[in-house]
Structure 1
Amino acid sequence: MLIRREFFGAALACLASSGGRARQSDEPFARQTFEADLIPAPDDPKLWPAFREALAAWRRKRRAELNYDDSLYRRSEFAWAASSFACCFLLVWDEDFWRVDESRYRLAEWLDEGEREFGGYDSLVFWHAYPRIGVDERNQFDFYRDLPGGLPGLRDLVHLLHRRGVRAYVAYKPWDTGTRREGKEDVEAVAELVAATDADGIFLDTLRQGDTRFRARLDAVRPGVVLESELALPLERLDDHHLSWAQGFKDSPVPGILRNKWFERRHMQHQIQRWNHDHTPELHTAWMNGSGVLVWENVFGSWVGWNLRDRSILRAMLPIQRMHADLFAGEGWTPLVETEAPRVYASLWESAGTRLWTLVNRMETEVSGPLLKVEAKPEEEWFDLVRGRRLQPVITGGVALLEGVIRPRGIGCFLARPPSARRPGERELLERQAGSDARASSSRLFPARQTMARACRAAAARKVPAGMVAIGPVDFDRDSIYRIRECGQLTSLDYVPGYGHPHIHQLIRIRRRTRLARYAIDLAPVTNSEYARFLRESGYRPRHPENFLKHWRRGRPPEGLEDHPVVYVDLEDARAYARWAAKRLPTELEWQYAAEGPDALAYPWGNEMLPGRSNDGSGGGTTPVKAFPDGRSPFGCYDMCGNTWEWTESESSDGRTRFAILRGGSYFRAEGSRWYADGGPQPAAFGMKFLLMGPGLDRCSTVGFRCAVSLESEA
């Protein structure tokens, strides 16, 4: 993006060489300034008229150069996109959405909460696989199939959205190339997903633009399915992408102009700064540009909640945008009209005798008094749409003085129209806006959440059970190793506000200190044959059977895999076995100490990765739990590196995201993208935050477990 100093140099040079008017033919000014994703605006109001002229000239020129075709925007089935002002980014495992204890989705309640807190949603993204994808061979489409209820259940959710007037997106991840293949091109697989779910749009993760074949293939499925890019959409693809994210765009002190929105007024851009605790920059950009906002609080398991002030601002914006969507998508946009208050800025939107001004207050203090002086037209009626009241402006010499109050970092809106231009529902809008304004808050307090660990079930023994080894007691004072990922490591607040995760994808050491009481741990992971015995003797059947022991046949382990680690078991399945065996799962740090021993070895057998010590995946699947005796830990434990990840008793939650820590690594590693979860054999100190998404998704071909038990102190 062009920095402000460069902008002013170009602008002033143009003005000086053209007698005060921006030279439309000045190539550096046009290219360097107006090709920015968010075009910076000059500070000096005297430059604004020339700035607007240059904007208009650039638009005409670029449309001609591109031979721009707006035919897709003129098709009625796509009209909804231009008024999709509020998009909700929903993680399908969010505890407020999927209640595992109730075995149901809470979509209706989610939408009700969205209306109360944010003003309601126009569209919603069902986000699924990342950051879990890569733990096993399942691909992005499998993650939708394995949701509770599968694709039919997802389609039911989409239909509920439609009944509430909300559009639905599914997500496409082009970087997912290292998991199970569909046997067809991604374009075809995405089209089939849309057909199965009745989704209205494709969110193009990590992409600036979609495959050119998408448009024709989606049109063949059903009309009105849109494409929305995550990264800044190039002008050359505005013709077939009705929406895009405005992610991470940095604004100038005077509100800038969204390039794509200026070029194509019907193009919707959703402002998003995912790691910010202050969302007023996004709200200001959306309000001044007649554009939209992405509401995203649960960022892949990191909590980035909206404060009360920002929620209040969005609640004030959305009803106005929806009622006057035609103005915000029309050609009557005048950016940066002069105001009467310092650091208050305004845009004007006009059509068929109606004029609407959107205002923003850039200051941290309230602004009160004169805000605009505008031409007064005969018989006009005047309104403050944010406060929800009629105005009686003072009119002198054909000029109306509009006065009002704008809260710190807040917004304002004035409407002028003749009686004949009154819109249906206007009176109700004013009443609702007055009520919303009365409950508006200026609080910037971040709604922090605390991650709490689930209490560990007690299981004690006097003697060391067969097949286990005694350890401790010991004071644990060591590092654990984690990958820095967008989901965080041990809490939902592991990020830097306004920045995210420094050194993303790198390893981080976290010092862990605790007292490990005397305990015993299994020498080997639980095998298929041992789990089969548990089922026979206990009669255990999971409440949610999706993917339970998926690899078994007719209720039995596959022939030849009896002594392989049991997989396709979730955390509750593992706990059920442990209860039956009068044991429990090991804590994360009990597991680590058993793997690395008193000398804190890097790997169970020593400080170097060596061949023949673990299942490295070369065989393409699991191996017997005692296949690598040379890879045992100092306590004699098998398979604590590679073969399968192992559950630990580490379940935690902040009330929105549940997770557990897996240990050991596995035979499988998804190659080809840094966005995949870790795979392959891992060091003894390495732990992976594993988001709990639901039984069908938590049961993996690469995750097993072993048990532990507390030992009574020796006399």
Structure 2
Amino acid sequence: MAHDRYFYDPVNHKYTVTRYLTDLKKRYGGIDAVLIWPTYPNIGVDNRNQFDLTADLPGGKKTVRQMIADFRANGVRVFFPIMIWDHGTRRIKMSMPNALVKEMKDLGADGMNGDTMLGVSDDFYQASKNENYPLALQPELSLGNLKMIEWNRLSWGYFFNYEYMPGVSVYRWFEPKHQVNITNRWAVNKTDDLQTAFFNGIGYNSWENVWTVWNQIPDRYAEAIRRISSIYKALPDIWASKDWEPYIPVLQRGVFASKFPDRDKTVYTFINRDSTDANGAQITLPYHKSEKYYDLWNGHEIKPEIKGDKIVLSFPIEGYGYSAILVTKNGMTPANLNATLSKMSGLSKRTLKSYSADWKPIPQQIIPIAKTKPPVKTLEGMVKIPAASNYQFESIGVMIEGNELPLAVGVQHPWECHPSRTQKHTMEIPSFYIDKYPVTNKEFKRFMDATKYHPLDDHNFLKDWVNGTYLLGTADQPVTWVSLDDARAYAKWAGKRLPHEWEWQYAAQGTDGRLYPWGNDKSADKFPQPDTTRDMRRPTNVNAYPNGASPFGVMDLLGNVWQWTDEYADEHSRSAILKGSSYYHAQTSGWYFPPALELNKYGKYLLMAPSLDRAATIGFRCVMDSN
């Protein structure tokens, strides 16, 4: 996720590639390639397309090019996504394949991952050839047909229906150079994934930041990745052996092995599918006097037991564990073998099962909002909301995926022990004042004139203004293209603050749990109707729907612009709670940022940097404490 705070530092406004890679190397040995993901799930909050969101990354394309160069300087290849379903946002002038390939060439990226694609289609391959810029193409899903393996050099592998006997990768079987990366983002126990990968000699997608839910790889599986990766890298060419043979005969129940032959060496990988250790004799092979045998997993040479024209190799494989044997011919010794054996000897002194397999969510904190001074006079344009002693606060996230607990794609409200997407809570809410309408262009202009405010990251700031002011006829429209920090700056100048999610909802809902400010019927004449075009109109004036008032007289709460409320953060991510939904509803796909018109619903909006966070459909309103 481009939003990961180990990857981008939002305080110092810079990419931190070294910090990101150092963390991964420390925990499980590092990565070979990275997929940078700036699009879903925020795409569709306005009509910016996948190209716009990449261009809106902090620092613009010049800085993104340097970020990619930093990865490559560390030996890491860089991929970006293909949002093949993105046909509901702003139109582009050329075909998606041509446009994306040109962009990858401009940025210096190495490949593209086809989100939801059953094989990256041939037109992307042809566009790459036409640009004379080779790209590694990697669909998320399986290939539409086996012919596509000709130009799809990689793929994700979803081996969800694991059985006792490990599955065989069909794509690796037909094309040994095809690289599969097993993907199972919500899994906590990684045993099946990693054993299947090692059995097939394929890769693993170490996806931990899942839409800003941190599913960290537990120590036991992290250590397994480190050891598997060390063996892979010691013999990088052998895993594409055209003579790969899975399911070679072994001597112990529960142990399965694959053979990867090369001209002067062969590697055998072993996995133990049982929980009990498998010790002693493991495999019988033909006897050749010139061969040597090395236990790569434990880091030492093995002396075989010779039985006529056969030899028997004995070595331990712990429960749910791994092993690898290297057989060399004619005295040939692979480069760096001694270094690999030394490394693996040190690592294997501790069993994998001695590492913890426990998982727990990392704590998430709400960003505190300081109380304001109470007003000393009647407040123009604000509505006083009475205190509530027994408010039934229901909060339902509309996020598209991620229902698994405790891995839910939600936030950790202050009274919760882990993030969740849906919950109910009885709470007391002190009396406060809230803006009757969202802050308008006219009001924000007064702030700008008084303070000369200019954000450090000013990309997209007030994007729809011209020459420092709003367009004629838009004075009473809600101000948009403002970041959370921009909104906070305005609120501080006005002696106010942004509302908590529950304050916004209470002011909109009252105490009877209604779904809309005016009641439970979705009345089309009480809020702006959706814009489903790709061009996206502007918001309506905040006072355009006088019949849409809440029980307290608060206006323009639904269907015009999303409104900033709380921010949540953990060690890796930041997100904001958006309330009120907006008039823009991107069409053609169910993967776009979903609406949340009902008052008990919210949108979780991922935060990275103001340049990317600002949107044409996000505004705000302020509150003030009454005492």
TM-score range for the pair, normalised by the shorter chain length: over 0.9
Match for residue 505 of structure 2 among 592, 596, 613: 592
Residue 468 of structure 1 corresponds to which residue in structure 2? 382
Matches within 5 A, 1:479-490: 479-486=394-401
Whether the 8 Å CA contact 1:336–1:347 is kept in 2: the answer is: yes
Q: Distance in 2 between matches of 1:478 and 1:225?
A: 50
Task: Please report how far the alpha carbon of residue 488 of structure 1 lies from its aligned counterpart in structure 2 after TM superposition.
Answer: 6.2
Query: Take 1:519 and 1:566, find their aligned partners in 2: how far apart are those partners?
Result: 23
Give the residue type in structure 2 aligned to 1:412.
Answer: S
* Corresponding residue of 2:620: 705
Residues in 2 aligned to 1:362 and 1:174: alpha-carbon distance in whole angstroms: 38
Judge conservation of contact 2:115–2:139 (CA < 8 Å) in 1. Answer: yes
Counterpart residue type for residue 586 of structure 1: P
What is the Cα deviation at residue 192 of structure 1?
1.7
In 2, the alpha carbon distance for the partners of 1:659 and 1:514 equals 23
3-state DSSP class of the match of 1:672?
Answer: coil
Residue 607, structure 1, aligned to residue 504, structure 2: no
1:601 Cα deviation after fit: 2.5
CA offsets per residue over residues 220-255 of structure 1, 9 Å max, x none?
Answer: 324431211111113121111111111244233122
- 1:565 equivalenced with 2:565 (yes/no): no
How many Å apart are 1:398 and its aligned residue?
Answer: 3.6
Residue 224 (structure 1) aligned with residue 134 (structure 2): yes
Separation in 2 of the partners of 1:279 and 1:549?
46
In 2, Cα distance between equivalents of 1:568 and 1:226: 36
| Pairing 1:503-582 to 2, within 5 Å after superposition | 510-582=423-495
- Once residues 302 and 486 of structure 1 are traced to their aligned partners in structure 2, the CA distance between those partners, rounded to angstroms, is 11
Tell me, yes or no, if the aligned pair for 1:642 and 1:666 is still in contact at 8 Å: yes
- Residue 69 of structure 1 corresponds to none
Change (3 A) 1:472 1:407: farther
Residue 374, structure 1, aligned to residue 290, structure 2: no
Pick the aligned partner of 1:684 from 599, 619, 623.
Answer: 599
* Displacement after TM superposition at 1:638 (Å): 1.3
CA contact (8 A) 1:315 1:436 kept: no
Q: Distance in 1 between matches of 2:387 and 2:9?
A: 38
Q: Partners in 2 of 1:653 and 1:493 — Cα distance?
A: 15
User: Displacement, 1:492?
Assistant: 7.5
Within 5 Å, which residues of 2 pair with 1:89-168?
A: 91-168=1-78
Between the aligned partners of 1:606 and 1:256, the Cα distance in structure 2 is 55
Report whether the alignment pairs 1:634 with 2:547: no
Q: CA, structure 1 residues 400+495, in 2 after alignment: closer, same or farther (shift >3 Å)?
A: farther
Q: For 1:169-568, what aligned pairs fall within 5 Å after superposition?
A: 169-233=79-143, 234-418=145-329, 420-438=331-349, 441-442=352-353, 443-463=356-376, 465-474=379-388, 475-486=390-401, 493-494=407-408, 510-568=423-481
Q: Distance in 2 between matches of 1:287 and 1:424?
A: 22
Residue segments in structure 1 that go unaligned for 5+ positions in a row: 1-90, 497-506
Using the alignment, how far apart are the partners of 1:637 and 1:178 within structure 2? 32
For residues 166 and 404 of structure 1, do their structure 2 counterparts lie closer, same or farther at Cα, with a shift above 3 Å needed?
same
Q: 1:26 maps to which residue?
A: none
1:165 is matched by which residue type in structure 2? G
**Distance between the aligned counterparts of 2:409 and 2:538, measured in 1?**
36
CA positional deviation for 1:168:
1.1
Could you tell me how far 1:508 is from its partner in structure 2? 8.0
Structure 2 CA distance, aligned partners of 1:685 and 1:120?
42
Does the Cα contact within 8 Å between 2:391 and 2:426 map onto a contact in 1? yes
Query: How big is the shift at 1:316?
Result: 0.9
SS at match of 2:182: strand
How many residues of Structure 1 are paired with residues of Structure 2 in the alignment? 609
State the match for 2:571 in structure 1: 655
Percent of counterpart pairs with the same letter?
33
In structure 1, what is the Cα distance between the partners aligned to 2:197 and 2:514? 54
Deviation for aligned residue 1:487: 5.6
1:523–1:223 distance in 2 versus 1, CA, 3 Å: closer
Q: Which runs of no fewer than 5 residues in structure 2 stay unpaired?
A: 411-419
Give SS of 2:266's match.
strand
Cα distance, 1:119 vs. partner? 2.2
Higher helix share: 1
The alpha carbon displacement at 1:141 in A equals 1.0
Shift of 1:211: 2.6
Whole-Å Cα distance in 2 between the matches of residues 487 and 547 of structure 1?
30
**Residues 180-189 or 517-526, more deviating:** 180-189
The CA deviation at 1:378 is 0.9
C-alpha contact (below 8 Å) 2:435/2:621 kept by paired residues: yes
Runs of 4+ in 1 over 4 A off after TM superposition: none
CA distance in 2, matches of 1:204, 1:597: 45
Between 1 and 2, higher relative CO (CA 8 Å, sep ≥ 6) is seen in 2
Q: 1:440 to 1:196 in 2, by over 3 A?
A: farther
Match for residue 540 of structure 2 among 623, 631, 636: 623
Structural RMSD (CA): 2.1
Matched to 1:707, the amino acid is C
Is the partner of 2:172 in helix, strand or coil? Answer: helix
Secondary structure class of the residue paired with 2:106: helix
Q: Which stretch of the first structure deviates more once superposed, 665-674 or 449-458?
A: 449-458
- With the length of structure 1 as denominator, give the TM-score of the two structures: 0.82
Whole-Å separation in 2 of the counterparts to 1:567 and 1:484? 22
- The CA deviation string for residues 607-656 of structure 1, in whole angstroms up to 9 with x for no partner, is 212233212245922122112111111111111011111001x1112321
Distance, in Å, in 2 between the alignment partners of 1:676 and 1:492 is: 24
Deviations 1:501-555 (A, max 9, x none): xxxxxx9863132210111111111111111111222232212111111111111
Q: 1:154: how far off?
A: 1.9
- Secondary structure at the residue paired with 1:359? strand
Indicate conservation of the 8 Å contact 1:303/1:492, yes or no: no
Residue number in structure 2 paired with 1:66: none
Q: Evaluate the alpha carbon distance shift between residue 407 and residue 178 of structure 1 in structure 2; reply closer, same or farther with a 3 A threshold.
A: same
Deviations 1:344-385 (A, max 9, x none): 111112122312110001122333222222223113222111
Q: Distance in 2 between matches of 1:685 and 1:179?
A: 27
Is the Cα contact below 8 Å between 1:307 and 1:447 reproduced in 2?
Answer: no
- Structure 1 residue 439: deviation in Å? 5.7
Distance (whole Å) between structure 1 residues aligned to residue 160 and residue 321 of structure 2: 20
Higher mean displacement: 435-444 or 341-350: 435-444
